[in-house]
Amino acid sequence: MADDDKIKLDFRVEAARVAEAPKPFLELFKRHDVLVELYVPRDSDKQGPHDRDELYIVITGYGTFRRGDELVRFEAGDVLFVAAHVPHRFEAFSGDFKTWVLFFGPTRPIGTRE
């Protein structure tokens, strides 16, 4: 394993960096078809659909998440999957909400699934 294939993540340290960043996320690792971010939305979640599958791994907090027409309750420790191009957003979340985001797989044109 090369040194750039391994990272150490401490969400407290990274969350402090996000708080000072202009956007509510930080890209922390990118390799081939995998991207890892820390996402800490501020007040509201304004994201739109993405062109890759993604996983949210909730670190802290709780709330509700809209995935297409589905509304899902979440809390720390939950993992939420979203397929590419599916509209989604965190609609209500506690002030301490933080989540890892893993984008993976190839980008897919609109209208394609797996």
Q: What is the pLDDT along the chain (114 residues), one digit of tens a residue?
A: 455 677 778 878 888 888 888 899 999 989 889 999 999 999 999 998 999 999 999 999 999 999 999 999 999 999 999 999 999 999 999 999 999 999 999 888 776 555
Give CA–CA dist 29/50, Å, rounded.
Answer: 18
Tell me if 98 sits within 8 A of 74, measured CB to CB.
no
Q: Which fold has domain 26-104?
A: Jelly Rolls (2.60.120)
Q: What are phi and psi of 97, to 5 degrees?
A: -65, 130
**CB atoms < 10 A from the CB of 98, how many?**
20
Give CA–CA dist 110/51, Å, rounded.
Answer: 7
Q: What are phi and psi of 20, to 5 degrees?
A: -95, -10
